[in-house]
Structure 1
Amino acid sequence: MRKDENTRQHIIIKSAELFNQKGYAGSSIQDIIEATGLTKGGIYRRFSNKDEIAVEAFEYAGQVLMEQLSSAINNADTAIDKIMAVCNVHIDPVNNPPIKGGCPLLNTAVESDDTFPILRDRALAAYEEMLSLVQGILKHGIAVEEFRSDVDVDSLSSFIVSSLEGSVMASRLSRDSKHVGFVMQQLRVLLNTYIKI
């Protein structure tokens, strides 16, 4: 990687952490300068504005999270274990989040609104990717006859992702990661009701 590309990647990584902790609206170009150790010119030689940095930083954070999820899934055998592995990536969002500052999907989804439609669209795409990941696990579970064929994949995957993201929010808000554990416990009970006998 060339030095200019390395510097650009450095800005993206540091900005992803910054935005994930302080939010996009709460972070200034000066914050990016301080986080990266670069000058204003060093930032603007590589990005035209903060919006461009935010979009690339979110994409980077999403890639990091998806790599962690893929790794966790690949180390699990059954569909239930794979769903639990997805949840387990978020097991300690207070002290050990998958990315510094918490779940980038949750943080960006909460902050994004009509004032930054591009970032909102990226957050929506990331949410749909997460749903698709869970749907794929459930469909595979049906195909290999781990789950019954009458599982409503769309409904169940939405419930799983919504429950997980809600538990991450509750854990970060209360500064107690037990909420993710509670959701995992209840999801395992629920998923066991769909096991094909």
Structure 2
Amino acid sequence: MVNRKGEQTKALILEKASKIFNSQGYRASSISDIMHETGLQKGGIYNHFENKEEIMLSAFSFSIDTMSHFFSEAMAGKQGYMERLHSIISVFEGIAERELFPGGCPIMNAAIEADDADPLLQEKVREAMDGLLGMVCNLVQEGIKKGEVKQGVDPEFVATVLISTLEGALALSKLYKSQEYMKRAVHHLRSFLAQNCA
């Protein structure tokens, strides 16, 4: 029989922990922070997770699932591949403007922090970035097949320019607490897509 209350408690822990880790950092955040945010005791948290490492990895996966949901929502109902590429840009705008994720993009934040000292988190971050770059590559490839994106366009080049520009703009927007950096990046990318893809 499914323990519904246990599932709800675990989901609550992941939701709160993902925000804490993304805002404060994975190493700087403590179990006490999670206890404070969830209202649970340490034993209540460790009923669902073996250790902090498992919470970190699960919370990161939770953040990536949430991000995927935002992309799916943004692309829903979009007819063309170019429209879908623009909808990816709009999600990053939303992260910068409305703080969809407290602390910014979870992939970028974890990528900065994850190093050889934490190979499991590093691998998960790499997989998440592979998924993000792959999503853009696939849209460009399908656009080429359907004749919406011009022949000869390199999908990996487009994905690299798009994601690195957006992630960099997020970092600047966060550092300087100004949306101007994201606005400039979006303006550049819309021109870039129009000139290089359409």
Q: Same fold (TM over 0.5)?
A: yes
Q: Which runs of 5+ in 1 are unaligned?
A: none
1:20 maps to 22
Alpha-carbon distance in 1 for matches of 2:75, 2:88: 7
The whole-number CA distance in structure 2 between the counterparts of 1:62 and 1:147 is: 28
Corresponding position of 2:51: 49
Secondary structure of 2:115 counterpart? coil
1:62 and 2:61 are equivalent in the alignment? no
Matches for 1:128-139 after TM superposition, within 5 Å: 128-139=130-141
> Secondary structure of 1:9's match?
helix
Q: d(CA) in 2 for partners of 1:195 and 1:43?
A: 49
Q: Name the counterpart of 2:80.
A: 78
Q: CA deviation at 1:109?
A: 0.7
Gaps in structure 2 of 5+ consecutive residues: none
- Cα displacement (A) at 1:95: 4.6
Match of 2:128 among 126, 129, 132: 126
CA distance in 2, matches of 1:137, 1:167: 22
Match of 1:182 in 2: 184
Q: Which amino acid aligns with 1:69?
A: F
1:103 equivalent in structure 2? 105
AA matched with 1:60: F
- Answering whether residue 37 of structure 2 is matched by residue 31 of structure 1, we say no
Q: How far is 1:94 from its partner?
A: 4.5
Q: 2:115 corresponds to which residue?
A: 113
CA RMSD of aligned residues (A): 1.4
- Structure 1 equivalent of residue 11 of structure 2: 9
Q: Is the CA contact 1:94–1:175 (under 8 Å) kept in the aligned structure 2? A: no
**1:38-79 residue CA offsets vs partner (Å, 9 max, x unmatched):** 001111111111110000000001000011011111233332
**Structure-2-length-normalised TM-score:** 0.93
Contact 2:153 2:197 in 1 (8 A): no
More helix by share: 2
Aligned residues: 196
Q: State the AA in 2 paired with 1:177.
A: Q
> What's the counterpart of residue 152 of structure 1?
154
Q: Which moved more, 1:47-56 or 1:72-81?
A: 72-81
SS at match of 2:153: coil
- Distance change (3 Å), C-alpha of 1:156 and 1:12: same
**Percentage identity across paired residues of the two chains:** 31
Q: Secondary structure at the match of 1:89?
A: helix
What amino acid is aligned across from residue 46 of structure 2 in structure 1?
A: Y
Classify the secondary structure of the residue corresponding to 2:92.
Answer: coil
